[in-house]
């Protein structure tokens, strides 16, 4: 006799997730796991969504107001495998009554590590040095060869002091950095510690030897780091971005790196990934990574479990813990 028809909710998973997460989804849901990991086109996503009660999506799936409006009625929830939700039009989701969740906390350590890696890599010209060794262009040790600057004891400015900004500050204190931050509001004293709050970015920028971006991409933060604001940084400053490329004006950052106004930049995120502004590739003083902030075995498992926890709560009739719309 055949097995009884499955009553478990149907989930469309848009990308191939870590094995542990796939096993859990396959056990508890009727899941379309997109095993080949191709990025689904808008039409393919909408077609496969016809058989889904919920979607588990990644930042590669752009849920614009238009896509949300075209979603089959059956789809009630979108669980994002990311903390950033700039790829989802939250207002359109709320209007349609579509529940949206994200995966905060679990990737904060991994992302803060990459922020520190970028600071060090940019300051010590690690990418450039690595390229030199690989190309057999390293000729001798010399007292004046390939000098960078230290981050130890320098002033660090954090744009955004949420979960990731706070952990980055904690790690940076290990390098005796002096911490400044700009945030929508000051942190409680015990969280802020010795970090100095600046109500305006303009006031903070002249004090930053290293600037690290940790705010979400929203209408207010799009293009926040433009030519005028970059000009306020001290000469020879370093800019690091592990948040979203859209917070930075590419033309302005490239110009500041070219002119020597900035010593270097360390970038893990870009506008229009992976088709980044070609200007970055030509700059020796740009230390570039392919959006690796949360890319560890531990963190990707934890993100997946958190995304499934949110689905579990929703289908158990409870409020999903990480609801953002």
293 binds ligand DGY (CB under 6 A): yes
Shortest approach of ligand DGY to residue 64 CB, angstroms? 17
Residue 101 touches ligand DGY, criterion: CB under 6 A: no
Catalytic annotation on 291? yes
Of 79 and 294, nearer to ligand DGY (C-beta) is 294
198 forms bridges with which residues in the sheet?
A: 182
Give the burial string for 302-319 (b: 16+ CB within 10 Å, else e): bbbbbbbbbbbbbbeeee
Please give the distance of CA 135 from its chain centroid, rounded to a whole number.
Answer: 31
Sign of CA pseudo-dihedral 64, 65, 66, 67: positive
Residue choice 79, 82, 168, 221 for contact with ligand DGY (CB under 6 A) = 82
Question: Of 223, 237, 303, which is closest to residue 266 (Cα–Cα)?
Answer: 237
- Asked if 273 is an active-site residue, the reply is yes
Among 83, 122, 151, 307, binds ligand DGY (CB under 6 A): 83
Closer of 148 and 165 to ligand DGY (Cβ): 165
Does 84 bind ligand DGY (CB under 6 A)? Our answer is yes
Among the listed ranges 30-38, 49-57, 77-85, 257-265, the one in contact with ligand DGY (CB under 6 A) is 77-85
Beta bridge partners of 101: 79, 323
With binding defined as CB under 6 A, does residue 63 bind ligand DGY? no
Residues of span 103-132 touching ligand DGY by CB under 6 A: 107
What percentage of the chain's residues is helix, strand, coil (to nearest 5)?
40, 15, 45
Indicate the residue among 20 and 30 with the shorter CB distance to ligand DGY.
Answer: 20
Burial 165-201 (b: 16+ CB within 10 A, else e): bbbbbeebeebebbbbbbbeebbeeeebeebeebeeb
Q: Is 148 in the site for ligand DGY (CB under 6 A)?
A: no
Q: Which residues are catalytic?
A: 244, 273, 291
Binding site for ligand DGY (CB under 6 A): 59, 82-84, 107, 293-294
């Amino acid at each position: 006799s055949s097995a009884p028809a499955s009553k478990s909710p149907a989930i469309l998973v848009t990308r191939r997730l870590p094995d542990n997460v796939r096993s859990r989804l396959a056990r508890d849901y009727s899941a379309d796991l997109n095993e080949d990991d191709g990025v689904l086109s808008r039409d393919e996503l909408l077609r496969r969504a016809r058989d889904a009660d919920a979607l588990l999506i990644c930042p590669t799936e752009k849920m614009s107001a238009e896509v949300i409006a075209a979603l089959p009625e059956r789809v009630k929830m979108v669980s994002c495998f990311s903390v950033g939700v700039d790829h989802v039009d939250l207002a359109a989701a709320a209007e349609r009554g579509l529940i949206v969740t994200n995966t905060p906390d679990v990737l904060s350590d991994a992302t803060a590590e990459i922020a520190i890696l970028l600071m060090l890599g940019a300051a010590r010209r690690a990418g450039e040095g690595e390229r030199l060794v690989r190309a057999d262009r390293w000729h001798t040790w010399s007292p004046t060869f390939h000098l960078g600057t230290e981050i130890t004891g320098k002033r660090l400015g954090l744009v955004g002091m949420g979960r990731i900004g706070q952990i980055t500050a904690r790690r940076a204190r290990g390098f005796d950095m002096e911490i400044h931050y700009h945030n929508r509001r000051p942190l409680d004293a015990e969280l802020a510690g010795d970090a100095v709050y600046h109500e305006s970015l303009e006031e903070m920028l002249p004090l930053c030897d290293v600037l690290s971006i940790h705010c979400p991409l929203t209408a207010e933060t799009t293009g926040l780091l433009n030519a005028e604001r970059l000009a306020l940084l001290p000469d020879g400053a370093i800019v690091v971005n592990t948040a979203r490329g859209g917070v930075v004006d590419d033309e302005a950052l490239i110009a500041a790196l070219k002119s020597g106004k900035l010593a270097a930049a360390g970038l893990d995120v870009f506008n229009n990934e992976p088709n980044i502004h070609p200007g970055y590739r030509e700059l020796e003083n740009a230390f570039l990574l392919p959006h690796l902030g949360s890319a560890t075995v531990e963190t990707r498992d934890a993100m997946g479990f958190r995304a499934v926890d949110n689905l579990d709560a929703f289908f158990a009739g409870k409020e999903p813990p990480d609801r953002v719309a």
